Amino acid sequence: MTKSMEKPRAKKRSKLTESRDLGCSYARFGPDQPLKLDCGQDLSPLQVAYQTYGTLNEDKSNAVMVCHALTGDQFVANTHPITGKDGWWGLMVGPGRPVDTDRFFVICANVLGGCLGTTGPSSIDPDTGKPYGLTLPVITVSDMVRSQVMLLDHLEIPKLLCVTGGSMGGMQVLEWVAKYPDRVASAIPIATAAKHSAQNIAFHEVGRQAILADPEWHGGDYTVAGTSPSKGLAVARMAAHITYLSETALHLKFGRNLQDRDSLTFGFDADFQIESYLRYQGSTFVDRFDANAYLYLTRAMDYFDLAADYGGTLAAAFRGIQTRVCVISFTSDWLFPTSENREIVRALNAVAANVSFVEIETDKGHDSFLLDVPELFATVTGFLNSAAVQHGLKG
Amino acid sequence: MTKSMEKPRAKKRSKLTESRDLGCSYARFGPDQPLKLDCGQDLSPLQVAYQTYGTLNEDKSNAVMVCHALTGDQFVANTHPITGKDGWWGLMVGPGRPVDTDRFFVICANVLGGCLGTTGPSSIDPDTGKPYGLTLPVITVSDMVRSQVMLLDHLEIPKLLCVTGGSMGGMQVLEWVAKYPDRVASAIPIATAAKHSAQNIAFHEVGRQAILADPEWHGGDYTVAGTSPSKGLAVARMAAHITYLSETALHLKFGRNLQDRDSLTFGFDADFQIESYLRYQGSTFVDRFDANAYLYLTRAMDYFDLAADYGGTLAAAFRGIQTRVCVISFTSDWLFPTSENREIVRALNAVAANVSFVEIETDKGHDSFLLDVPELFATVTGFLNSAAVQHGLKG
């Protein structure tokens, strides 16, 4: 695919009205604007649910796109409408934060294939009047970004100051940089990889099989059947959650501590705190996430292999880009280890791109990008300020 | 618990006859010989299924006990009666092998709580005439070894030349050394730990929850219900199997290779070889393993914390032992990393025990102890020969 083959659309607002529902905004694209998917099919209609923070300046030079991870959503920095909890990146995005919403206009869209307002497997298929379920075409990270480009056109923003995100969010960032470099002045991919590893595919497959093994999944038609594959989804979440942490973090946080008891019970209750914690993670996740969306999004991550779109050479993906890139990894991240982040850096260096790389020492594992890691905030603050100056944004 | 509080029983054979069934031997212990469990209950009757290789010499000085891992069994070096596959440690045990059955008399018992002949949750509870299911008391690694001591008494062998095993087998080895040092001349714990880590407990808990989530599990009474929680058990196996390998091994063996296809299918079939491999591992496992046994044995591993029996000080577990110990770990094992094996070495050194330590460089992960790793074989050969000489065994 050639760079920027999807040019900014004509600067007119979609005729489809936006509505409020989850407390966020929606962009709707009708039959005249189908989303061309990697699988070859057109997806239409398309709805993209998104949240914004701050104000777009006059010359539209202060827009920052945040791409969320597998189980994230557009509620970056405000109260989640379902859980009532704070936004997942409130430490990073907000007034006075590294991505300062007093200065930047922040956009985050729920990803394509997700379950919080953007078209996904739980959306109604207009042809049947029922949820798509598994009849929704399999989508890719590239498709996700394509829908975000449509949103950017809809918002009439020609170029982003920055695009950033961690994990699956980082994959979207790489996709933006490779396919739409003219629309991104700078990028911060965090704790990610240019392709999903065999081990990561393996963990995803376990999660998917846990969902598929749940008889309440009903071939994906659980909504119609009036059931919920929550047990399978909870197991999937539990397996994945372990990979988001580090062994050291688990040891320090839980070790072999017992949960509300003084001694082993010689039974199968959650004797250990780590068991209780995991069960809680599983049980709360199912309240805010859709099992089919979990299948689609894990599949999208597994399919991600940026170099494959460029003849197998990752550097070719970045040839000629002017985007400034800052790659960030964490020492204790074993899901997206530094070595995989370094591959991105090497590829960018190979084409003499403007790239900096920061490996942050922390024992918090992959989830570090979501946590209170001062060096992460300092890095983003510094890079973003520099990028803003370069981009012509005033003080 | 004081050392060797369970002395060798009087040298008479159990009156209970042995029978042949799976092609192995059985020792049966009646109401006069209950097994005292850590949970406080007595287990009776008790059956221990075991396999032997080679011949016990006249002075009974050439006996080597092999302790199997979580999903292992007594079929160390002969054809498995269910799968028809070679024994799981045929590379290590056999004529001319490191544990040379032309020279040594090798014993391996199916563990207590297992599912291949030794009393476990699928055994018939004589009080009800039905399988125990979850009414079997929770057992511990200590209980497993206690049943092995009963077997040793039954075989009228006063002292083992060596006890060895990897993973959960290594936990049993440590238990033997700590609690019955007078009955073990030497020991080779491999790829193990003196206590199960939070991360390992976490992975086990995922597996257990996958089984419990399967409606065919029926509260553990699936045999009576005529069902089989094979889907849940398969998911548990898949999750665990990832942890037995290394990221490098997965990368080298599978990478992102596709399974019998030239391109992605944009579906949820096993596009990638790693997916197909994992599904195969799950589906074959359920043919030879029992879901409740999986619950009991993972629980036993989670409960394992040798130091806890000695006031929290691991070194105290080994005070005064004369047993020679060789601890072996593998560089790419992230389930029982070198650091945890080193803790055992440190504790043995702290009481001036005769200990050697070998960390073997390999990218094969935790499963290295089961695989063709020449340095492992050389280490075991050398140590065992030396221990045999020390033990007075002739050439």
User: Which of A264, A283, A295, A309 should one mutate to test binding to chain B, selecting the residue with the greatest count of B CBs within 10 A?
Assistant: A264
> What residues of A are in contact with residue B233 (Cβ under 8 Å)?
none
Q: Count Cβ atoms below 10 Å from residue B311 Cβ, excluding itself.
A: 8
Domain locations along chain B: 25-195+303-390, 200-298
Q: How many CA atoms within 13 Å lie on the side-chain side of A305? A: 19
Residue numbers in chain A where pLDDT is lower than 70? 1-21, 395
Nearest chain A residue (CA) to B295: A268
E strand residue ranges, B250-314? none
Cα angle at A199 between A72 and B92, to 5 degrees?
150
Q: What is the CATH number of domain A200-298?
A: 1.10.1740.110
Residue A379 Cα, gap to closest chain B Cα (Å) = 29
User: Which of B206, B272, B273 should one mutate to test binding to chain A, selecting the residue with the greatest count of A CBs within 10 A?
Assistant: B206
Nearest chain A residue (CA) to B219: A268
pTM above 0.90, yes or no: yes
The reply to whether B200-298 shares the fold of B25-195+303-390 is no
Judged by DSSP in three states, A93 sits in strand
Give per-residue pLDDT as tens, A91-122: 999 999 999 999 999 999 999 999 999 999 99
Q: Do A303 and B209 touch (CB under 8 A)?
A: no
- pLDDT value of residue A394: 75
Residue numbers in chain B where pLDDT is lower than 70? 1-21, 395
- Output the CA torsion A108→A114→A119→A121 (10° steps): 180
Instruction: Quote the percentage of chain A above a pLDDT of 70.
Output: 94
What is the fold of A25-195+309-390? Rossmann fold (3.40.50)
Q: Who among B235, B254, B305 is closest to A206 (CB)?
A: B235
For B342: left if phi > 0, alpha if psi spans -120 to 50, otherwise beta; the answer is: alpha
Helices (H) and strands (E) in chain A, counts: 11, 14
Give the DSSP H/E element, type plus range, for residue B88: none
**Which residues lie closer than 8 Å to A175 by C-beta, 6 or more apart?**
A141, A142, A144, A145, A306
Distance CA A324, CA A389 (A): 12
Q: Do A209 and B138 touch (CB under 8 A)?
A: no
Q: Do A198 and B231 touch (CB under 8 A)?
A: no
User: Which of B209, B263, B279 should one mutate to test binding to chain A, selecting the residue with the greatest count of A CBs within 10 A?
Assistant: B209
Q: How many CA atoms within 13 Å lie on the side-chain side of A55? A: 3
Q: Do B213 and A205 touch (CB under 8 A)?
A: no
Q: Do B274 and A202 touch (CB under 8 A)?
A: yes
Q: At B354, list the tokens.
A: 């005769």
Catalytic residue among B68, B196, B204, B366: B366
Judged by DSSP in three states, A351 sits in coil
Q: Who among B196, B235, B253 is closest to A213 (CB)?
A: B235
Q: Do B206 and A251 touch (CB under 8 A)?
A: no
Q: Who among A202, A299, A305 is closest to B268 (CB)?
A: A299
Residue A141 Cα, gap to closest chain B Cα (Å) = 13
Residue B235 phi/psi, 5-degree rounding, is -65, -40
> What residues of B are in contact with residue A238 (Cβ under 8 Å)?
202, 205-206, 209
Distance CA A393, CA A59 (A): 9
Q: Do B238 and A206 touch (CB under 8 A)?
A: yes
Q: At B289, list the tokens.
A: 């393993």
- pLDDT value of residue A14: 33
Amino acid found at A357:
F
Per the annotation, the verdict on B59 as an active-site residue is: no
ipTM given for this complex: 0.92
Q: Do A206 and B278 touch (CB under 8 A)?
A: yes
Distance CA B254, CA A5 (A): 34
Residue B173 phi/psi, 5-degree rounding, is -60, -45
Q: Which CATH number applies to B25-195+303-390: 3.40.50.720, 3.30.70.3000, 3.40.50.1820, 3.40.50.10140?
A: 3.40.50.1820
Residue B366 Cα, gap to closest chain A Cα (Å) = 14
Q: Do B213 and A202 touch (CB under 8 A)?
A: no
Per the annotation, the verdict on A333 as an active-site residue is: yes
Give per-residue pLDDT as tens, A217-263: 999 999 999 999 999 999 999 999 999 999 999 999 999 999 999 99
Give per-residue pLDDT as tens, B277-329: 999 999 999 999 999 999 999 999 999 999 999 999 999 999 999 999 999 99
Give per-residue pLDDT as tens, A325-338: 999 999 999 999 99
Distance CA A17, CA A24 (A): 13
Nearest chain A residue (CA) to B238: A206
